[in-house]
Amino acid sequence: MKRIPLANPRFGTVLMAALSTFVFPAMAKSVTKNGKMFIASTSDFVGDGKTDNTQQIQAAIDSCNAAGGGIVEFTAGTFLTGPITLESNVKLELDSAATLLGTTYTKAYYPAGYDTNLSAPSSLQPLITSNNASNITISGKGTIDGNGQPWWTAYNAAKASGGTLPARPRLIKLNHSQNITIDSVMLQNSPQFHVSLEYCWYVQIRNVTILAPSNSPNTDGIDPATCHFVYISHCRIDNGDDDIAVKSGKYDPTDPNAGCSNIWISNWHVR
């Protein structure tokens, strides 16, 4: 991915200002090909809150990517899913009556190729992820619900007994990706962090509501780590841990892109 070099990436600033508008010039590419919008078929999605739609949703994402870009639209319903991977030039659009609901089946989140006969791994896949992707969007008035209560209960029980703390999936974790928009959706009840960004560039998160009970463990709102040019605006966060945590990440400190820079946070409401 081509990126704008930073003059002083290790000493960038976090600006918390009332910025009413901000446009990243690198985010102009749309999810179209030859001027036509590709809409993925979602006729096989079942929004009853019980049927596992993981394969169908991933197939729709893959078809958008193969077409050069497109939209996966979720209409009214509750769509149960396991981990899905966003690919370049793909937009997830959730209708106001649509909910994407994370499964509570732990083994669904095991890393690819992990032997399910072994004890649980130390980390789990997030519900939604991206790796080396560009031009990705999650938007609409709908909800992405991590179904966190069973995870919190198990975690708190293990902590109280002094046992091994079980791994929990994050709701959204985007890695080494750029030109990202998360707009207007409600994110709630993540088993762990709601939005994690690692080594991402040119990110807009706006008009997003993040909700989790005040006693839910480690349910951070938005955590950019080793990210550059991130704009967070008009968001409401009411959760059980950090609202927004800007982190340096766990990468080689000699890397010229280590740390965060050019992070704008404006007009946000937290409780």
Dihedrals phi, psi of 107, to nearest 5 degrees: -65, -20
Annotated catalytic residue, options 52, 95, 238, 241:
241
Which tokens in the block code for residue 195?
């939005």
**Adjacent-strand bridge partners of 94:** 74, 140
Per the annotation, the verdict on 241 as an active-site residue is yes
Answer left, alpha or beta for residue 94, where phi above 0 means left and psi between -120 and 50 means alpha.
Answer: beta
Which tokens in the block code for residue 131?
């790796």
Number of neighbours of residue 76 by Cβ within 10 angstroms: 11
User: How far apart are the C-alpha atoms of 179 and 202, rounded to whole Å?
Assistant: 5
User: Using CB atoms within 10 A of its CB, is residue 176 exposed (0-12), middle (13-18) or buried (19+)?
Assistant: middle
User: How far apart are the C-alpha atoms of 6 and 216, rounded to whole Å?
Assistant: 38
CB-side neighbour CA atoms (13 Å) of 117: 0
Q: Which residues are catalytic?
A: 241
